[in-house]
């Protein structure tokens, strides 16, 4: 396991601190792609100024939110294995986008704000680009004392040589079940069965990163049986309560394990037909998409 470092931003001075020596509870930059090799940045042609985060969960699939996909027929590009988003970023083509059938614009439909994006060409895993662990999230969340730290990731705007650049940054959170979600629990959202209620640990202004929505909520297990990092949530919504404590709503990934696994298994059959993007339901009638009864 690599020794992760925090880059603290204090005025114009950047201070480097190593995990294990100094508690890193503020915003920091990822120094290498090897620290978050599963993190994806999603660019949707329908929303060129806005980007989303996502997580590589298989060699050909990225998990994100349904709101990031939006129109499933939109042209979507994905960047993997990068700590910066700029004019040099390498973009990967995608083939199929699938939105959970329970998702809608209603409050209760937000509890199913999840989608899968399949890459046109599978990746070859290496230390800089590889899938995140996600299948054992339920066991990890149910094991008392198993989680040592929680974090999520986004691209923060900076400037390099006078040009805007987005750098991969991380920040830490804590479970805040009693306070964070209850204030916003209306019309069935967020449903406690589907959501994790979190709050930022730092006391500064709430981070506003490009690519936060759709990013993974990562648990660092204190128990080595679970591995180094486990995806336990999907960042979906964070209303600003105050600069000191902002509610952060994330979907529980394990609630969708069956749906995710089913589509990972079915994708070869979809891909054997004409490449298309399907929202379920319905599939676009003018394209030969996978039969609706399978969605």
Q: What is the pLDDT along the chain (295 residues), one digit of tens a residue?
A: 333 434 433 322 333 333 333 334 445 777 676 788 999 999 988 776 678 899 999 999 999 999 999 887 788 999 998 888 888 899 999 998 999 999 988 878 888 999 999 999 999 999 899 999 998 888 888 886 788 888 888 888 777 778 878 888 888 888 775 555 666 665 566 677 888 888 777 665 555 565 678 999 998 887 777 777 899 999 886 554 444 446 678 899 999 999 999 999 988 877 765 444 454 444 444 334 443 333 4
pLDDT value at residue 150: 87
Q: What is the dihedral of CA 207, 208, 213, 215, to 10 degrees?
A: -50
pLDDT value at residue 205: 53
DSSP class of residue 22 equals: S
Model confidence pTM above 0.85: no
pLDDT value at residue 208: 57
Length of the chain: 295
Q: State how far the Cα of 83 lies from the Cα of 6, in Å rounded to an integer.
A: 14
**Interacting residues of 219 by C-beta distance below 8 A, sequence separation 6+:** 137, 140, 141, 147, 149, 150, 229, 230, 231, 232
Query: What is the secondary structure of 56-95 as a DSSP string?
Result: EEETTEEEE-HHHH-STTS-EEEEES-SEESTT---EEEE
Q: State how far the Cα of 9 lies from the Cα of 27, in Å rounded to an integer.
A: 7
Q: State how far the Cα of 101 lies from the Cα of 168, in Å rounded to an integer.
A: 31
Rounded alpha-carbon distances, angstroms, from residue 259 to 112, 145, 262, 287: 11, 28, 5, 23
**Interacting residues of 145 by C-beta distance below 8 A, sequence separation 6+:** 222
3-class DSSP state for residue 222? coil
3-class DSSP state for residue 167? strand
pLDDT value at residue 102: 93
């Amino acid at each position: 396991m690599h020794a992760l470092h925090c880059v603290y931003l204090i005025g114009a001075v950047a201070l480097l601190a190593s995990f294990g020596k100094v508690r890193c509870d503020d915003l920091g930059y990822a120094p290498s792609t090897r620290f978050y090799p599963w993190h994806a940045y999603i660019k949707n042609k329908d929303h060129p100024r806005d980007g989303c985060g996502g997580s590589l969960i298989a060699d050909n699939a990225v998990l994100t939110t349904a709101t990031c996909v939006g129109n499933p027929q939109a042209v979507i590009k994905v960047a993997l294995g990068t700590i910066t988003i700029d004019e040099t970023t390498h973009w990967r083509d995608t083939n199929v986008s699938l939105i959970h059938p329970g998702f809608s614009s209603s409050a209760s439909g937000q509890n199913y704000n999840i989608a899968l994006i399949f890459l046109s060409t599978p990746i070859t895993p290496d230390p800089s680009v590889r899938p995140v662990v996600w299948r054992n999230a339920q066991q990890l969340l149910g094991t008392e004392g198993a989680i040592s730290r929680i974090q999520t990731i986004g691209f923060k705007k900076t400037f390099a040589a006078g040009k805007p650049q987005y750098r991969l940054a991380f920040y830490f959170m804590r479970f805040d079940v009693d306070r964070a979600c209850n204030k916003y629990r209306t019309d069935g959202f967020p449903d406690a069965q589907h959501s994790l209620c979190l709050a930022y640990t730092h006391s500064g202004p709430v981070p506003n990163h490009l690519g936060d929505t759709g990013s993974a909520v990562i648990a660092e297990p204190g128990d080595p049986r679970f591995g180094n990092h486990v995806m336990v949530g999907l960042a979906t919504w964070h209303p600003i309560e105050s600069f000191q404590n902002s509610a952060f709503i994330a979907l529980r990934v394990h609630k969708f394990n069956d749906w995710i696994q089913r589509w990972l298994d079915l994708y070869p059959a979809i891909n054997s037909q004409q490449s298309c993007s399907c929202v379920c339901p319905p599939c676009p009638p003018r394209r030969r998409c996978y039969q609706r009864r399978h969605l």
